[in-house]
Amino acid sequence: MGIYDTVMQEKPPVVLDIGTAYTKLGFAGEAHPRFILPTESFLSSTGQICKLFNYSSQTELYDHTVDFLQTVFFKHVLVSPKDRKVVIVENIFGETIIRETIAKVLFKHFEVSSILFVPTHLVALSTLAVSSGVVVDMGYNETTVVPVFSGVQILKAFQDQAFGAKSIHDEIKRQLVEAGINPILLTESILEDIKVRTCFVTTSERAKQYREGLPITPPPDLEYSIKEKEIITIPGSVRETAYEIMFAEDNEQSSLPYLILDSILKCPVDVRTVLGENIFLIGGTSIMMGLLSRLKTELNLLLNNNNRYKGKLFFKSVKFHTAIGRPNFAAWLGGSICGATEFVGTKSLTKETYAKCGHVPDWVNLDDNRLQDSV
């Protein structure tokens, strides 16, 4: 009998990918999450809805997490969390307070049997059945780049910048306000809808014309209805240039293409070619129309024309992987696969172990990494 069959005879672990804006949730072994919902908690104390990670103290974060997970277990996945295994897909550079609070809530309030924390970039790559590549996670607050070689994350090559959905929303709002739109109308949900429905990533040639102020015919303006009461006009230039903040050319050379190539450049010489031929974009922001084509063009231009990389990166063109399913839940899918193997039984943090140590073992904590025989 296979490992998958053995695990599935038991209660399948619940898999959670709790992002800043959206949470993906479902059961291990499934091909897609059952629900994708906003990372918001309905506060039982006040009756208000707030962002899960908008907190002023650890106590407040604990209360938010209890209310949020209460909704997850009893409204969406509809299972009792008691003695259930849980897989948490997390950013390896996430805040320790969030990790500790989630573990405390799950163990002490919901009494789960074990928790397995798996790193976003590593498990996302596992969905492709390859062991090496550069994983670019484009989320709400930031874009993070982590190379993985032979199943090991090269942490010294980690790169990140605030190229996320939030920065795109801010740019759209700035341009629309300059065009005379009332900023009160431009709520976060409206900005996200405008981005998804009307915006796209332009070509490298047209972007250069915009930067140099050359005459250019923008795409047509669009009318956008807000709650069927007020209609605003989305200028064509806004639709085409909202994503240019990711490709801005400045002295810091911190745009998205530089971010990826700098990450590869920090890796050992003998692995750079493999990494350059296995780039994997994940996260909701990466789905935007035209992004992959533009990014590939920009990366190839830098490789062949920029002295910063010529002779140091031993590949002349980059190659991208296509996500199985959708890029926005690629990391969750990796957690689902991981949760359906024996790995969840051997590497999980159990309720008994947590009760003894009182915290989640962490790779940055020297107490957790010290050898037992060391003084």
- Mean of the per-residue pLDDT values of the chain: 88
Alpha carbon distance 154, 351 (integer Å): 30
Pick 368 or 198 by higher pLDDT.
198
Domain regions of the chain by residue span: 3-120+327-369, 125-162+253-305, 165-246
| CB-based contact 274:149 (threshold 8 Å) | yes
Fold held by 125-162+253-305: Nucleotidyltransferase; domain 5 (3.30.420)
The superfamily in CATH containing domain 3-120+327-369 is ATPase, nucleotide binding domain (3.30.420.40)
Q: Please tell me if the domain spanning 3-120+327-369 has the same topology as the one spanning 165-246.
A: no
pLDDT of residue 310: 84
Q: pTM of the entire structure?
A: 0.90
314-332 pLDDT, tens per residue? 888 899 999 988 999 999 9
Residue 371 pLDDT grade (very low, low, confident, very high; cuts 50, 70, 90)? low
Fold held by 165-246: Actin; Chain A, domain 4 (3.90.640)
Residue 118 in this model has a pLDDT that exceeds 90:
yes
* DSSP-derived secondary structure letter, 221: P
285-312 pLDDT, tens per residue? 999 999 999 999 999 999 888 888 888 8
Contacts of 324 (CB under 8 A, 6+ apart): 127, 128, 330, 333
| CB-based contact 329:21 (threshold 8 Å) | no
Task: Classify residue 272 by burial, with Cβ atoms within 10 Å: 0-12, 13-18, 19+.
Answer: buried
* DSSP-derived secondary structure letter, 183: G
Other beta carbons less than 10 A from residue 159's beta carbon: 22
Residue 375 in this model has a pLDDT that exceeds 70:
no
pLDDT of residue 370: 66
37-91 pLDDT, tens per residue? 999 988 777 778 888 888 888 899 999 999 999 999 999 999 999 989 999 999 8
pLDDT of residue 283: 93
129-155 pLDDT, tens per residue? 999 999 999 999 999 999 999 999 999
pLDDT of residue 373: 44
pLDDT of residue 227: 75
